[in-house]
Structure formats: C-alpha cells, structure tokens
C-alpha cells in the first residue's frame, strides 16, 4: 500500500479513537455537567445525610444551581458538614433552607434549596441555618411501628414496653447563635430555627 494511503487510514483510525473518547466523556460520562463558571461555597450542617455523596447536584425548583463539594464530620456537634459549590450567578437569601431529597423512590440523593424571604443574600463561606436531614427509611418504619404498637398497648394491658418518643423528622441543625426567630422561611411550617430548644432535651 502506498505511503500516503497508509497515512490516511492511520489518521482515520486515530480520529475514530478520539471520537469514541469524546462520545464516552460527553454522552456516557458527566463531562457535559462540569461548568467552569466561577463558584462560591456555602456550608450546611445535617444530623443525617443518608446516602448523599460529593458531586451530587444542588437543585432549586428542579434546576441545578451547584454541586456538593465536600462532606466532613464535625466532631464537637456530631453532625455532617456539607460544603456546597454554588454557581456565582445563583444567589439565595440568608434564610433559605436546604434539604436532602431523593430523585425517584430509589434514585440518587441530591440537595434541594428553598429560597427564603430575606433581603440579604448568602455570601461566600456562610452557613445555611435551616436544614432538613435525609429521610431514613428504617426510622420511618420504626416510627410507624412504635406508634401503632403504642395504640394497641394502651388499648390492652401492660406498659412494660414503653414506646420511645418518635423522633421528629425536622430537627434544628446547628447550635449557632444568630438565627432569626421571627421570619419563618417559605416552607417553614415544619422547620425549626436553630435557636429554639431541641425537642428531645430538657
């Protein structure tokens, strides 16, 4: 085979390999979801993050506005500290609340931000006060079982197996000080600002 013809076929072969890699990276992989836009970071404390992983999307109204950068454990509060990288163009009020949600029944877990009503926006490095932990299926089931057992127990005899108080799904996240006590967040009916006393203690 002539020299230039070989060159042509080798070039075509290499191009095919490059096309295959691009296909894998963009169509099968998550390269297309990477954004090189400037970001700012926020933190949020959770009692339980369930199966949340670094790299999970942060969504508001279903639109991806950032990603989970890092997950640490705070050894004094015994809480998970989640660091978020938010798009610089997406700003949220200081009383926004963040919750761990699941896409579908058994899908991946992601963070959902509900914007609040404050005038001021969250700045780089600030902490989101209102958080809602992941729903742990076992806790839900045990809650249900205990409450139904409780009903039966009062109907029949013994109180030798007292049901523990059902743990509320929403708990205050941090023991920090400057939480606003007045302005309730948008979906704040069930949420407790961190200043109020936790229901378990005292």
Is 31 or 149 the residue whose CB approaches another protein more closely? 31
Rounded-to-integer distance, Cα 132 and Cα 183, Å: 18
Residue of 6, 154, 183, 196 that binds another protein (CB under 8 A): 6
Stretch of 21-29, 89-97, 115-123, 171-179 lying at the interface with another protein (CB under 8 A): 21-29
Between CA 24 and CA 68, with CA 90 as vertex, the angle to 5 degrees is: 50
- Compute the least distance from the CB of residue 112 to another protein, in Å: 16
Residue 26 is given by DSSP the state I
- Compute the least distance from the CB of residue 40 to another protein, in Å: 23
DSSP H helical segments within the chain, as ranges? 3-23, 137-155
What is the chain's alpha carbon radius of gyration, rounded to the nearest angstrom? 24
Residue of 41, 46, 49, 55 that binds another protein (CB under 8 A): 55
Contact 77, 175 (CB under 8 A): yes
34 is a site residue for another protein (CB under 8 A): yes
Stretch of 26-34, 66-74, 148-156, 182-190 lying at the interface with another protein (CB under 8 A): 26-34
Stretch of 11-19, 89-97, 140-148, 167-175 lying at the interface with another protein (CB under 8 A): 11-19
Sheet harboring 39-46: ordered strands across? 127-128, 39-46, 79-87, 63-74, 57-60, 109-114, 97-102, 130-132
The CB-side HSE value for 33 (13 A sphere, CA atoms) comes to 13
51 is a site residue for another protein (CB under 8 A): no
124 is a site residue for another protein (CB under 8 A): no
27 is a site residue for another protein (CB under 8 A): yes
Beta carbons within 8 Å of 13's beta carbon, 6+ residues apart: none
Rounded-to-integer distance, Cα 146 and Cα 27, Å: 47
Residue of 32, 157, 177, 200 that binds another protein (CB under 8 A): 32
108 is a site residue for another protein (CB under 8 A): yes
33 is a site residue for another protein (CB under 8 A): yes
Which residues of this protein are in contact with another protein, per CB under 8 A? Answer: 3, 6-7, 9-10, 12-14, 16-17, 19-21, 23-25, 27-34, 55, 106, 108
């Amino acid at each position: 085979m002539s020299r230039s013809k070989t060159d042509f076929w080798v070039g075509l072969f290499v191009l095919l390999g490059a096309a295959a890699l691009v296909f894998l990276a963009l169509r099968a992989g998550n390269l297309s979801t990477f954004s090189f836009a400037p970001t700012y970071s926020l933190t949020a404390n959770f009692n339980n993050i369930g199966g949340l992983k670094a790299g999970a999307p942060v969504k508001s109204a279903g639109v991806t506005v950032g990603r989970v950068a890092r997950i640490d454990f705070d050894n004094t509060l015994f809480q998970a500290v989640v660091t978020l990288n938010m798009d610089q163009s997406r700003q949220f009020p200081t009383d926004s609340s963040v919750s761990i949600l699941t896409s579908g029944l058994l899908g991946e877990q992601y963070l959902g931000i509900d914007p609040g009503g404050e005038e001021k926006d969250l700045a780089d490095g600030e902490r989101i006060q209102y958080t809602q932990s992941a729903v742990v299926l076992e806790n839900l089931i045990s809650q249900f079982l205990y409450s139904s057992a409780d009903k039966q127990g009062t109907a029949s005899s013994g109180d030798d197996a007292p049901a523990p108080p059902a743990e509320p799904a929403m708990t205050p996240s941090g023991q920090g000080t400057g939480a606003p006590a007045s302005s309730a967040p948008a979906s704040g009916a069930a949420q407790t600002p961190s200043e109020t006393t936790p229901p378990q203690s005292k």
